[in-house]
Amino acid sequence: MPMKWLLCWLCVLCPLAWGDARSAQQLSEISSRSQLLCASAMVYFDPGERAPDPRSLTAVFYHLNTLDTYVLQLGQPPALLQPLRAMQRLFAELDRLPRNQRERYPALISQLLSAQHLLQQAASQAYAQQGVPDSAPQQLFGAQSQAMASLLLDYQRRNYPLPESPQSALKPAQLQALDQQIEQGFERLLAQYGEHAQVLDKARSNYQFVRRQLQQERGRAHGGLEFYLSRTVIDLDELAQTLAGRQG
């Protein structure tokens, strides 16, 4: 009888453990995917671009749908739902605007960035309440994904005609520190998850290919950087999902 009850408890606890791991992973991805969404939006809704690459628009749709799915699965807490709905409304307005009204893009993108910031803050606070161990895959992979997404978003912000300020939110010293953090993050991931070296080496190679350009003070909104880094972040997130699933 004790063994029977033990097996019953294990059946109950394993889904709960997986649920906790899955929730933490989703909250981590909300922070990174929302930044990728804004980076793609700035590439597509660039007022100086007359023929934008439709792949950037597809990327915005993809990230927005992913965020909507995750917030739904997390129970639609108001702190997450409200800024997400604001982002959805702003994107719909941007998407409806004809190109001959592209001078309105910057003001709407600025509002999109503000809503994204609120969503990211809410996700980070909820994630902190999960009490995820420092050695957990959600923590290690999440920090890496968010750092690269932050670097990409900062690059696009520097090169987009935002109404409030054309300057980077990050100073050169901060950019270098973030780059160092990413390099050290890859070293730690390879040391701890060497069996996944193929995925990690590819992600690291992709990052190193664009890292110098990401440090440039001025340039232009760049779709190539977006595709490289977005794919890298998504690959890391997918690996983290697999590892989080095994925790159950």
Mean pLDDT calculated for residue range 123-131: 92
Asked whether the beta carbons of 79 and 117 are under 8 A apart, the reply is no
pLDDT for position 247: 59
| Residue 132 or 196, more confident | 196
Picking from 192, 69, 85, 74, the residue whose alpha carbon sits closest to that of residue 129 is 74
**pLDDT surpasses 70 at 55:** yes
| Residue 240 or 9, more confident | 240
pLDDT for position 7: 31
Burial class from Cβ neighbours inside 10 Å (0-12, 13-18, 19+) for residue 90 reads buried
- Tokens encoding 143: 């920090």
Which span out of 41-50, 61-70, 158-167, 229-238 was modeled with the highest average pLDDT? 61-70
Cα 210 to Cα 221: distance, rounded to the nearest angstrom: 14
**pLDDT surpasses 80 at 221:** no
Task: State which amino acid sits at residue 63.
Answer: H
pLDDT band at 50 (very low <50, low <70, confident <90, very high): confident
**pLDDT surpasses 50 at 18:** no
Cα 207 to Cα 183: distance, rounded to the nearest angstrom: 9
Cα 168 to Cα 179: distance, rounded to the nearest angstrom: 15
Picking from 241, 232, 230, the residue whose alpha carbon sits closest to that of residue 36 is 230
CA distances from 74 to 14, 22, 127 (A): 18, 10, 12
Q: Among 76-80, 186-190, 208-212, which is the least confidently predicted range?
A: 208-212
pLDDT band at 135 (very low <50, low <70, confident <90, very high): confident
Cα 83 to Cα 219: distance, rounded to the nearest angstrom: 30
Picking from 125, 7, 165, 30, the residue whose alpha carbon sits closest to that of residue 87 is 30
Q: Tens digit of pLDDT for each residue in 147-182?
A: 999 999 999 998 899 987 545 578 888 989 999 999
Cα 170 to Cα 157: distance, rounded to the nearest angstrom: 10
The Cβ of residue 174 has, within 10 Å, a number of other Cβ atoms equal to 13
Cα 194 to Cα 86: distance, rounded to the nearest angstrom: 41
Asked whether the beta carbons of 186 and 144 are under 8 A apart, the reply is yes
Picking from 111, 104, 121, 107, the residue whose alpha carbon sits closest to that of residue 88 is 111
**pLDDT surpasses 50 at 1:** no
